[in-house]
Amino acid sequence: MIAKNTTSNKTIHPPIVPSLRPRSGLGLVVIGLGLMLAMNVGRAIAPPPSLAQIQPRSVELQRRTDDTYETFLRRAEAVARAAVQRQFDSNPLSTTATTTIYGKNNGFIAPLLRLHVTRRDWVNLPDPQQWATYFPMTKQLLGFDPEADTPPSP
């Protein structure tokens, strides 16, 4: 369609655009598949960011009747070691693992330790004592007897 501009006596031509309409139905399907493939190539190469995020875990550990605070803490370290290893094993793309172990005693709950470690550090030294943060007030908060854990004086 050609229009005439009345103010300047110039002819206005519509833009020339080639038709994108395929000649057959098969061409339309091929174009659609090509667009879908092009849009999803980046997703296939790079994992979604949620896979590489830190997923902190927490575990509650019940005190046994024969546990001293030290044996309770050693059990907490063993549970933390297993939890961190499980986090790294279940998600090979995660770079960091975090777990918090809570102690339970007589209805009280308090954090015993928090283990936060990178995969590289864990592979080099899978020792929870090296990477754990301990909470010193937990012994009193959980009601462990301070005199029961100290050796008797001579």
Which among 66, 67, 83 has a CA at the least distance from the CA of 139? 67
Predicted confidence at residue 3, as pLDDT, reads 58
Give me the residues paired with residue 134 across strands.
113
Instruction: Assign residue 34 a region (left: φ > 0; alpha: ψ between -120 and 50; beta: otherwise).
Output: alpha
Predicted confidence at residue 50, as pLDDT, reads 46
Q: How many CB atoms lie within 10 A of CB 85?
A: 13
Predicted confidence at residue 145, as pLDDT, reads 72
Q: How many residues does the chain have?
A: 154
Q: What is the pLDDT along the chain (154 residues), one digit of tens a residue?
A: 555 555 666 666 665 555 555 555 555 555 555 555 555 554 555 455 444 455 668 999 999 999 999 999 999 999 999 999 999 999 999 999 999 999 999 999 999 999 999 999 999 999 999 999 999 999 999 998 766 545 444 4
Predicted confidence at residue 10, as pLDDT, reads 66
Judge contact between 116 and 133, C-beta under 8 A.
yes
Q: What residue segments make up the domains of the chain, in order of their start?
A: 3-45, 50-141
Predicted confidence at residue 85, as pLDDT, reads 95
Predicted confidence at residue 82, as pLDDT, reads 95
The encoded tokens of residue 65 equal 């009747």
Question: What SS3 class is residue 11?
Answer: strand
Predicted confidence at residue 2, as pLDDT, reads 58
Predicted confidence at residue 57, as pLDDT, reads 84
The encoded tokens of residue 102 equal 């809570």
Predicted confidence at residue 153, as pLDDT, reads 47
Judge contact between 104 and 60, C-beta under 8 A.
yes
Predicted confidence at residue 19, as pLDDT, reads 54
Rounded Cα–Cα distance for residues 66 and 69 (Å): 10
Judge contact between 99 and 84, C-beta under 8 A.
yes
- Spatial neighbors of 122 by CB under 8 A, at least 6 apart, are 84, 85, 88, 97, 131
